[in-house]
Amino acid sequence: MYRFNLVFLILSTKTLALCLNYTQNLRPNIVMVMSDAFDGRLTFHPGSQVVKLPYTEYLRKQGAVFLNAYTNSPICCPSRAAMWSGQFVHRTQSWNNFKCLDNNYTTWMEILQKNGYYTKRLGKLDYTSGSHSISNRVEAWTRDVPFLLRQEGRPMIDLIGNASTVKVMAKDWKITESAARWIRHSAASLSKPFALYLGLNLPHPYRTESLGPNAGGSTFRTSPYWLRKVSRELIAVPKWLPLNQMHPVDYYSTFTKNCSSNFTQEEVKDIRTFYYAMCAEADAMLGEVVSALSDSGLLSSTLLMFTSDHGELAMEHRQFYKMSMFEGSSHVPLLITGPGTKAELQVEQPVSLVDIYPTVLELIGVPVPANLSGHSLMPLLHQTPASSAKYRPDWVLSEYHGCNANASTYMLRTGKWKYITYADGSGAPLQLFDLSTDKEELYNVAVHFPALCQRLDRLLRSIVDYPTISQAVHHYNKKQFSDWKSSLGDRYSSVIANLRWHVDWQQNPKYFEAAIDEWLSGSR
């Protein structure tokens, strides 16, 4: 039995006392399983028909599925920083995969520990500063430089093993099995409630080893065993805008992700098929956790939540990876089941990962700080609309400041509308999508609704002073790059020429170095 996505098991003394007449001595266990790059639209109809995800489906039937759950930043580290801190990324200055939370930052897991929980974290955490490759950092710092360089390998597929090959992502399986053993052998005997976090790397694409040590993750790898879980005939080839009609930031992303050349329909369908098969493997890892809880008699006393740090475009909008506000990248899974939750509940209210922190605190009866960016999900889980309307907004915010996008990006999702603006709001065209009629997000209708865009922009500015934040990121990028360049001395030209963009860079290194020097010397 296996599992793939992010799962979070949460029970609250306050909620249990309200709903199940539990006492303070019967606090729930909390288990969170978080995957990487899982498209949230696969957790409900019609996406759930494309690939068999039995354990995700189990959570949906037993508890609640959030139909409009979003990441607060569509890239690994900043997204996880928001989830662990309960704060929007501009508040913690989690600008990219290198700059996130301090090592001593108090997460909700520390709050649980201080309140009598035994806590355990396994697998991918990825929310503190200082990690990730030099190439990833430099690409983020130099995104304002006016050149186009391919930063990734062309997306590709890799079929390994045979019809009996189950464990493709060996590292994730090892960590998952460790979590399952701990549940079976240790958790049941604890004298206090426990909180377990399991972080997976799947279905994030694999590094393309043939491209060398600086390679990005452009390989979609699976086995025939997992391909059998996918209904290839139901996989649609997404529509693309012509390159000359793309938004300039989207075009930059497409080019730097090495997706601007030709792809056949079969190539695109293969990539999407392999991605869905990787999701099935991740779902099986979730199953290992569910089975371990069930075998240990803990399933009924544990709240289970399933989510991910971001999605995966899988060739939608002529891109793979994330770093975009399109649905494939920003829409994440969020399913919660456990004591006090209603079976087969579908929640349409937009929510985001910063909501997890206050939810956990309310669950254990700890006062929720007023300065958190998120709001507890408990009113939505227990269908108290009056309370929900009083305490939570009808919008969610996502922002992006990292590589593969040449401007800070801000997305406001409210009702049927998705509003996106860039940098200080005056450079790149803003975007407005009506998700009720344009699920593929191909028709930017901003010019048709100027009054609505003005209203949404005022709302966005009341949440985040985005021109000021964009300028702060710009100055941070310059300072970081300048310090890095100085630290290399005479090695600078050699090092920068051999990062992930080396194929393009080495065609004209003097031109690209000059472009960077001009950017560094600019007054802005």
Active site residues: 76
CA 122 to chain centre: 18
CB atoms within 10 A of CB 55: 27
Q: What residue ranges in 125-275 does DSSP mark as E strands?
A: 156-159, 194-199, 219-222
List, edge to edge, every strand of the sheet that includes 409-414. 395-400, 409-414, 417-422, 431-434
Return d(Cα 161, Cα 478) in angstroms, integer: 46
3-state class of 327 per DSSP?
Answer: helix
3-state class of 274 per DSSP?
Answer: helix
Q: Where are the alpha helices (DSSP H) in 9-128?
A: 13-20, 54-62, 76-85, 89-92, 108-114
Phi-psi sector, 395: left (phi>0), alpha (psi -120 to 50), beta: beta
Which amino acid is residue 473, in one-letter code?
A: V
Q: Read out DSSP for 365-393? A: TPPPPTT-S---SHHHHTT-HHHHHHHS-
Which amino acid is residue 343, in one-letter code?
A: A
Which amino acid is residue 80, in one-letter code?
A: R
Return d(Cα 88, Cα 81) in angstroms, integer: 9
